[in-house]
Structure 1
Amino acid sequence: MLAATLLALSLFAVTFAVNLQAPLYSSYVGDSGFGATAVAIAFSAYVVGLMPTLVLLGGLSDRIGRRSPIAVALLLGAFATALLVFDPSWGSLIVARILLGIGTGLATTAGTAYMTEIIGGDQTRRAALAVTSATSLGFGGGALGTGISLSLQGPTFFPYSFAGLFIVAPLLALLMVALPRADDPKPVSLLRLPVFPGGTRSFGAALGLAWSSTGMTIAVVPLELESHGLSEWTGLVIFLAIFVGFLCQPLAKRMSNEIALATGLILIPLGFSTLLLGVWLKSIALVLLGTALSSASSYGFTYLAGLSEFALRAPDNRARATAGLFVYAYVGFSIPVIGSGFLADAIGLFEAMLAFLIVLLTVTAFVAARTSGTWKPQYARSDR
């Protein structure tokens, strides 16, 4: 149990670093001269580091073991954050986001497989819940931690949240290396492509859609809030964009993966529509409600269902299957943000968000229609 706890804490720390700098985006890119485009490029640089890691190194831990990639990911997170302390600029933000992407790719693929091996191969859904809980809290907690730190310290490029990561990450890296081995490394190629198990296309597509709304919430919505004088809510919005999903995971675990997927597909457009209405009416209550609804899908129902289904359908390739799922997720997470950033500078932030909503509604309806006829809902066993 100690090994599972330390692994969960390590996954939390890796993902905590990812959005740690989010409340400072506008400060980092202030002198770049590119507006929303600069934020979109810096935000999506994360995927530039992550996607090659998922595509080429998703099965690396099958060869070298699970512990080392996670330890490296922890150190990369600390180094990327230190770079922003010593050189708080747009260029450094891009480099830091690339390093954070590499770390996330290493940790999530190795960590999912390792957690299943620690808990037991017949407890796939339990292991998936542990991973989704740790990473959801991490992705949301970083932004909230920096937001709270800034409210206590005032404007600074070295908030308390950064200092906390510098202390915890190296310690966890050492503890990860000291954990017992639970896997049996195989003499396979270092470069291993992701696995996309049969019957999982709907789960992957749905997670891509869900994370596209989260990407927009984290990267683009804060810019609109700032334009309305509501920038002090940014940290809470980003935290809710992920934390509410964590709260929904126990409920999602009691459902079959198919029912959780259907629930997520309903919440995706409902959440972003409510959020956009809140932006239009300058109602922070509606913004927070829409963010919470989107989060319930992105890091709750759809996230747990997808991770569990991919692992269940590829028991001999869990690390590579996890990489396959995150390929779907991060394509959705990045492309809309990049497109909306360019569009926002051309026609305006709100108009770009409205265009995204129209595309989101259309594609979600298509995925739901394709999905509805391919499965019959059944209640999941507790050990599934």
Structure 2
Amino acid sequence: MIDNVASDVRQQAVSPVDGRRQRTGFWLVAAVYMLVMLGGTLPIPLYAFWAPQMGFGPFTTTLVFAVYALGTVLALMVFAPLSDRAGRRPLLAAAVLAAAASTALFLVAHDVGTLLAARFLCGLGTGVFTATATAALGELAGAEHARRASTVSTVANMGGLGLGTIAAGLFAQYGADPTHLVFWVYLVGLVPAFLAVVVTPETVTPRQRPALSVRRPTIPDRRTARTDFLRAATAVFAAFAVSGLFSSLVPSFLREQLHVHNVAAVGAQVGLLFIVALIAQVAAPERWISGRWPAPAFLIAGVAVFEIGLWTRSLPTFAAGTLLAGAGIGLTFRRGIGVTQQLADPRRRADLLSTYFLSAYTGTIVPTLALGLLDQTINQDVATLILAVTVVATTFAGVLSRPTGATT
């Protein structure tokens, strides 16, 4: 019923475009989406170089992580929903330009202030592109290919995040300039990305004059749909909290506790979380994606095992926790995107997707900031355990809430 209504409304809200051009636009948006997400994780392995150069400690590193997520949240609340009125293409182009400006700031950064500005601008671009590209992919694919749009969107998101840390680690370890070469290459790559967005078909008509304002998070009007969406939003909050926890902990844990100083290895360990999440989305049986328990079970098991790895200083155990948690994150994200695309009014698709991603990135901010603050007063292992228990409790709260049966 929801799909039929959505299809009828989409025919009124989305302009007809040539089938071949539409398919080409779909894959162009997907490719640029992955590239933009890749840029979001490029800095993660590089803090080991910036910290001694700029003279900052673990709390500042935590702050830089949080500033990126805050930029993303601001984009989702203010800018991303504009594409429902102004069109997808202008917002996608603006997001690529923001990514380019952020990259330029990383190239000239010699102090913490510039680093914070670069990370914040990176978050703005990522937030706008995430919601807008996901909406555009759903429209370019059409109602008959909704599952493909959901899969490709999640692959682009998680795949880009994983490749970013791996690429940065390799460039830093084996390149001539550990903190600059990877950004020069990335900046060059954004040029064809911008051109790809320019030639992508516009899917929103009639376009209206945008009104800039802080949007209250949008949720579906119907009670059953609202309940299903809030369950998906709670689940992705917990999943991204685990992601934030891993991204914050892995570099310092490997370097300080396990004395792993190969930056490529550090980048690969962080990237492993997202790559496993990607594989889970593509290869997992449908019953794992649609079921209530598989994703939470993997997520909770992953948190438990990686906590054991932290306390025992065991890299294999920590890696096993990464594998389990990555699968949980991927399954949670894939299911949530599908639910949100299904429930969204096509005329306000980016609005609801912005709320979904807002929940995800808020999940990233909370553990990152909390870990930085708790580290100032208590042992890191204890601080991490407190956060892990909180994440597990949130996951259980979401999965144990009564399903409405509106979605599968």
Q: Secondary structure at the match of 2:196?
A: helix
- The reply to whether residue 230 of structure 1 matches residue 260 of structure 2 is yes
Partner amino acid, structure 1, of 2:315:
I
Q: What do the CA deviations read for 1:281-320 (whole angstroms, capped 9, x no partner)?
A: 222222222112111122x210011111011011322211
Contact 2:172/2:179 (<8 A) preserved: no
Contact 1:84/1:93 (<8 A) preserved: yes
**Which residue of 62, 86, 98 corresponds with 1:40?**
62
C-alpha distance in 2 between matches for 1:294 and 1:206: 13
Partner of 1:348: 379
Partner of 1:59: 81
**Which residue of 304, 310, 315 corresponds with 2:345?**
315
Contact 2:254/2:266 (<8 A) preserved: yes
C-alpha distance in 1 between matches for 2:28 and 2:208: 27
**Which residue of 208, 217, 241 corresponds with 1:187?**
208
Partner of 2:219: 196
C-alpha distance in 2 between matches for 1:338 and 1:21: 18
C-alpha distance in 1 between matches for 2:211 and 2:36: 22
The unaligned stretches of length 5 or more in structure 2 are 1-22, 221-225
Partner amino acid, structure 1, of 2:94:
V
Partner amino acid, structure 2, of 1:190:
A
**Which residue of 366, 373, 388 corresponds with 1:335?**
366
TM-superposed deviation, 1:154? 6.2
Partner of 1:268: 299
C-alpha distance in 1 between matches for 2:58 and 2:290: 37
Q: Secondary structure at the match of 2:344?
A: coil
Against the structure 1 CA distance between its residues 182 and 168, is the aligned structure 2 distance closer, same or farther, given a 3 Å change threshold?
Answer: same
What value does the CA root-mean-square deviation take over the aligned residues?
2.1
Contact 2:54/2:110 (<8 A) preserved: no
Q: What do the CA deviations read for 1:93-127 (whole angstroms, capped 9, x no partner)?
A: 21111111111111111111111111102322221
Partner of 1:278: 309
C-alpha distance in 2 between matches for 1:60 and 1:12: 21
Q: What do the CA deviations read for 1:306-349 (whole angstroms, capped 9, x no partner)?
A: 11101101132221111010111111111111011111132132
- The reply to whether residue 324 of structure 1 matches residue 355 of structure 2 is yes
- The reply to whether residue 241 of structure 1 matches residue 270 of structure 2 is no
Q: Secondary structure at the match of 2:377?
A: helix
TM-superposed deviation, 1:354? 1.4
TM-superposed deviation, 1:62? 1.5
Q: Give the 5 Å matches for 1:1-384.
A: 1-30=23-52, 35-153=57-175, 156-159=178-181, 161-187=182-208, 189-191=210-212, 192-197=215-220, 198-199=226-227, 200-228=229-257, 229-232=259-262, 233-252=265-284, 254-255=286-287, 258-259=290-291, 261-298=292-329, 300-316=330-346, 317-370=348-401, 373-375=402-404
Contact 1:140/1:243 (<8 A) preserved: yes
Contact 2:63/2:369 (<8 A) preserved: yes
C-alpha distance in 1 between matches for 2:334 and 2:300: 19
C-alpha distance in 1 between matches for 2:353 and 2:166: 27
C-alpha distance in 2 between matches for 1:377 and 1:237: 38
Moved more, 339-348 or 26-35: 26-35
Normalising by structure 1, we get a TM-score of 0.91
TM-superposed deviation, 1:217? 0.6
Partner of 2:11: none
Partner amino acid, structure 2, of 1:308:
G
**Percent identity (aligned):** 26
Partner amino acid, structure 1, of 2:36:
V
Q: Secondary structure at the match of 2:297?
A: helix
TM-superposed deviation, 1:32? 6.0
Moved more, 273-282 or 127-136: 273-282
Q: Secondary structure at the match of 2:143?
A: coil
C-alpha distance in 2 between matches for 1:185 and 1:96: 35
Normalising by structure 2, we get a TM-score of 0.86
Against the structure 1 CA distance between its residues 346 and 185, is the aligned structure 2 distance closer, same or farther, given a 3 Å change threshold?
Answer: farther
Partner amino acid, structure 2, of 1:221:
V
Moved more, 270-279 or 37-46: 270-279
C-alpha distance in 2 between matches for 1:212 and 1:185: 38
Against the structure 1 CA distance between its residues 355 and 152, is the aligned structure 2 distance closer, same or farther, given a 3 Å change threshold?
Answer: same
C-alpha distance in 2 between matches for 1:216 and 1:296: 15
Contact 2:70/2:365 (<8 A) preserved: no
Partner amino acid, structure 1, of 2:250:
V
Contact 1:42/1:93 (<8 A) preserved: yes
Contact 2:29/2:196 (<8 A) preserved: no
